[in-house]
Amino acid sequence: MTDNLDLFSAPAPVDIAQPAIKIEALRDQLNHWAHQYYVLDEPTVPDAEYDRVFRELQALEAAHPDLVTPDSPTQRVIGAVMEGLAPVRHTVPMLSIHTETDTEATGAQAFDARVRRELGLTEADPAIEYVAEPKFDGLAMSLRYENGRLVQAATRGDGEVGEDVTHNIRTIRQIPLTLREGVPPLLEVRGEVYMRRADFDALNERQREQGGKTFVNPRNAAAGAVRQLDSSITAQRPLSFFAYGLGAITPPGEGGPQFRTHFEMLQTLKSWGFPVAAQVRIAAGATELVAFHQQVGASRDALPYDIDGVVYKVNRLDLQRDLGFKTREPRWAVAHKYPAQEMATRIEGIDVQVGRTGKITPVARLAPVFVGGVTVTNATLHNLFEIRKKGVRVGDTVIVRRAGDVIPEVVGVMPGKRTGYVPNFRMPTACPVCGSAVVREKGEANHRCTGGLFCAAQRKEAILHFAARRAMDIEGLGDKLVDQLVDANVIRTLPDLYRLGLTSLIALERMAEKSAQNVLAALEKSKQTTLPRFLFALGIRHVGEATAKDLARHFGVLDAIMDATEEQLLAVNDVGPIVAKAIRTFFEQPHNREVVEQLRACGVAWPEGPVAERAPQILAGKTVVLTGTLPTLSRDAAKDMLEAAGAKVAGSVSKKTSYVVAGAEAGSKLAKAEELGVPVLDEAGMLALLAGTGA
């Protein structure tokens, strides 16, 4: 009886499958969200919600330790420590790839011609279809999945035997630990582990703050992170992954997939949860390969990761099989490199340069080196702190980087190459140009010459700035001429420009009468200007074009600006305490007021009047980037129109950019806009926007 009763009143027997099912469901959910976040870059839930479910799973696993599996999202950062990296024999060797370093056209053509010849094709046959991919600058990785679970990750090693780095690869969030249903029982995915540039910069910043060692480039940082023995170190180095191929896989006869093309295989890898680069394209024949090489080359600096070239692969897998291999390289693929952006060379000396604001920049004189497509003999060292931080000394072998049109810089010292004692670099205490004292203000990284316009270097820069296109727009007054004029002591102050005569110009070396007349005409023409241009041309610290325009609009006349107090200046749109103080300080100096008076006396004039009516600010708060050549408007005209409507015109595209206005031959900025999903307008679209009828 009692037994019976007990039977009825007892709670239902514990369903041991329950927590297992719940745990599985939570893992699926978290994996799904993580894929959207890390691979697709499209988060669908707030971080807090992810964290909540993550903690729920952690709690469940803590209560059921027997249900914890190494592929659970909670186990990504496990801090496994290895004694050494174990060797892994690759079932399918990891090949290298033949490299073409020739010029744009010939590299692709040579490859296409070789492929056609080996396939026995004639000119009458149609173009071969290729897949063109970026050549990621990281390190090759083979990921082995058995029944949809990551069981091993190995480096390339010598191609036959690599190293087991599974414990570290598990910390990379872009790499799935479990795959969805429907994947073949055996799957080896090959690809590149790399570090995004932004992640690399942030890592170095952090290392610097903590007094740790900094890395020379993203590839070295990634390679170091992957080969750690302690995976908790790897977990702190943000790594990413791109899939580009396959190793061993269940054959079609045993239920594996049957791919017809390389592209189809990549699409499938993507659908299985692996990151595949958005830049991968199908290209027909050599012509389209050349176009791809050019297009990716132009957007190289805008990509969020480093590449060192592109890779071309024959798309059809049956043709790949026909072509086969030559020793360790497939005949169906080739790497086509870009000029290296980093090279090693020796520092032969360190000089300093004096800029317009008096900033003293240490510059490394280098043994000439071909980098980023040009021969480089100088590279900036930025300031004394950078030199100390990087530990650079004369005679060191250093890595020099030149990317795009960026000024070449020394990124780091090659370790272990210094022979003998070399003294540390010291900042000069006197300006090398004018002998004035060199000082460093509190809280500033830069040293400055205190000579002001007494310093010829600063005078030259000040004159060039005054003459610049967006300032007084004095055509023909360039570097060389300014050097000559200042060195010959013909020009000591800005007003001296307008006192130039034909005789003093012709007296200069290599100055023909015709050119001298052109310069005088340009000077004459520049006298009719606008208040914002004039203000900008004066070169007041912190007063750029936008501030000059704001000041002109606010005060209307120059005298009001010259006599304004800091409080009055602070009332101007976008003028803060630092800018207000700089303006005040500038106009407090009697010699600066004198310069203004003399310029006016020389005939420099602009329409002054009541405060100008502001155009409706329909683009207030918007940031616009201009790129390429517009069909009718000049770059400056477009910029002026946008700014008049309240927009900020920026030089580079970011997530914060509101619009990109693109004309003919737009390059990397357009690519970046497309990548970030920033709206792109043509000239007509921009005009419509300004008229209030556009996007």
Residues ≥6 apart with Cβ < 8 Å to 551: 532, 535, 543, 561, 569, 572, 575, 583
**In whole angstroms, how close is the CB of 321 to ligand IVH at the nearest point?**
13
Give the separation between CA 534 and CA 613, rounded to whole angstroms: 19
Residues ≥6 apart with Cβ < 8 Å to 451: 358, 431, 433, 434, 435, 436, 458
Annotated binding site: 47-51, 96-97, 133, 156, 192, 313, 337, 431, 434, 455
Determine, following the binding rule CB under 6 A, whether residue 306 of this chain makes contact with ligand IVH: no
Q: Which is nearer to ligand IVH, 311 or 505 (CB)?
A: 311
Q: Which of 85, 189, 311, 400 binds ligand IVH (CB under 6 A)?
A: 311
**In whole angstroms, how close is the CB of 294 to ligand IVH at the nearest point?**
18
Structure tokens at 191: 């690809």
Q: Which is nearer to ligand IVH, 29 or 261 (CB)?
A: 261
Structure tokens at 89: 């024999």
Triad 577, 579, 583: Cα angle to 5° = 115
Structure tokens at 189: 């995915």
Grouping H, G, I as helix, E, B as strand and the rest as coil, residue 382 is coil
Give the separation between CA 147 and CA 182, rounded to whole angstroms: 9
Determine, following the binding rule CB under 6 A, whether residue 425 of this chain makes contact with ligand IVH: no
Which one of 67-75, 95-103, 108-116, 363-371 is the stretch in contact with ligand IVH (CB under 6 A)? 95-103
Q: Which of 68, 97, 641, 687 binds ligand IVH (CB under 6 A)?
A: 97
Q: Whose structure tokens read 């790839």?
A: 97
**In whole angstroms, how close is the CB of 109 to ligand IVH at the nearest point?**
20
Give the separation between CA 553 and CA 368, rounded to whole angstroms: 49
Q: Which is nearer to ligand IVH, 193 or 626 (CB)?
A: 193
Q: Which of 285, 330, 556, 685 binds ligand IVH (CB under 6 A)?
A: 330
**In whole angstroms, how close is the CB of 596 to ligand IVH at the nearest point?**
59
CA distances from 471 to 461, 527, 534 (A): 13, 11, 7
The number of residues that bind ligand IVH (CB under 6 A) is: 14
Residues ≥6 apart with Cβ < 8 Å to 647: 619, 620, 622, 623, 624, 658
Determine, following the binding rule CB under 6 A, whether residue 453 of this chain makes contact with ligand IVH: no
Determine, following the binding rule CB under 6 A, whether residue 342 of this chain makes contact with ligand IVH: no
Determine, following the binding rule CB under 6 A, whether residue 188 of this chain makes contact with ligand IVH: no
**In whole angstroms, how close is the CB of 244 to ligand IVH at the nearest point?**
4
Interacting residues with ligand IVH between 121 and 160 (CB under 6 A): 133, 135-136, 140, 156
Give the separation between CA 398 and CA 136, rounded to whole angstroms: 24
Q: Which is nearer to ligand IVH, 196 or 418 (CB)?
A: 196
| Residue 115 identity (one-letter amino acid) | V
| Helix residue ranges per DSSP H, 589-645 | 590-601, 635-644
Q: Whose structure tokens read 């390059």?
A: 667
Q: Which is nearer to ligand IVH, 184 or 309 (CB)?
A: 309
Q: Which of 226, 333, 334, 482 binds ligand IVH (CB under 6 A)?
A: 333
Which one of 93-101, 223-231, 438-446, 596-604 is the stretch in contact with ligand IVH (CB under 6 A)? 93-101
In sequence order, what are the beta bridge partners of 590?
none
Nearest to 651 by CA among 663, 641, 639: 639
Q: Which is nearer to ligand IVH, 191 or 451 (CB)?
A: 191
Q: Which of 57, 95, 189, 221 binds ligand IVH (CB under 6 A)?
A: 95
Q: Which is nearer to ligand IVH, 76 or 328 (CB)?
A: 328
Which of 22, 135, 389, 417 is flagged as catalytic?
A: 135
Determine, following the binding rule CB under 6 A, whether residue 96 of this chain makes contact with ligand IVH: yes
Contact 552, 614 (CB under 8 A): no
Structure tokens at 85: 């990296």
Q: Which is nearer to ligand IVH, 35 or 135 (CB)?
A: 135
**In whole angstroms, how close is the CB of 415 to ligand IVH at the nearest point?**
24
| 135 in active site | yes
Triad 38, 40, 46: Cα angle to 5° = 60
Contact 289, 108 (CB under 8 A): yes
**In whole angstroms, how close is the CB of 308 to ligand IVH at the nearest point?**
8
Q: Which is nearer to ligand IVH, 223 or 562 (CB)?
A: 223
In sequence order, what are the beta bridge partners of 64?
none
Ramachandran quadrant class, 556 (left: phi over 0; alpha: psi -120 to 50; beta: rest): left
Contact 90, 84 (CB under 8 A): no
Residues ≥6 apart with Cβ < 8 Å to 16: none
**In whole angstroms, how close is the CB of 199 to ligand IVH at the nearest point?**
18
Q: Which is nearer to ligand IVH, 54 or 244 (CB)?
A: 244
Nearest to 529 by CA among 608, 605, 636: 605
Phi, psi of 370 (to 5 degrees): -90, 110
Q: In terms of C-beta distances under 8 Å and separation of at least 24 residues, what long-range contacts does 429-433 make, across chains too?
A: 431/354, 431/358, 431/360, 431/455, 431/457, 432/351, 432/352, 432/354, 433/354, 433/457, 433/458
Determine, following the binding rule CB under 6 A, whether residue 245 of this chain makes contact with ligand IVH: yes
Annotated binding site for NAD(+): 47-51, 96-97, 133, 156, 192, 313, 337
Q: Which of 244, 263, 274, 466 binds ligand IVH (CB under 6 A)?
A: 244
Q: Whose structure tokens read 């499209």?
A: 42
Contact 192, 135 (CB under 8 A): no
Annotated binding site for Zn(2+): 431, 434, 455
Q: Which of 100, 188, 192, 199 binds ligand IVH (CB under 6 A)?
A: 192
Which residue in the shown chain puts its C-beta closest to ligand IVH? 140
Q: Which is nearer to ligand IVH, 219 or 554 (CB)?
A: 219
Which one of 92-100, 501-509, 619-627, 638-646 is the stretch in contact with ligand IVH (CB under 6 A)? 92-100
Which residues are identified as catalytic? Answer: 135
> Where do contacts with ligand IVH occur on this chain (CB under 6 A)?
95-97, 133, 135-136, 140, 156, 192, 244-245, 311, 330, 333
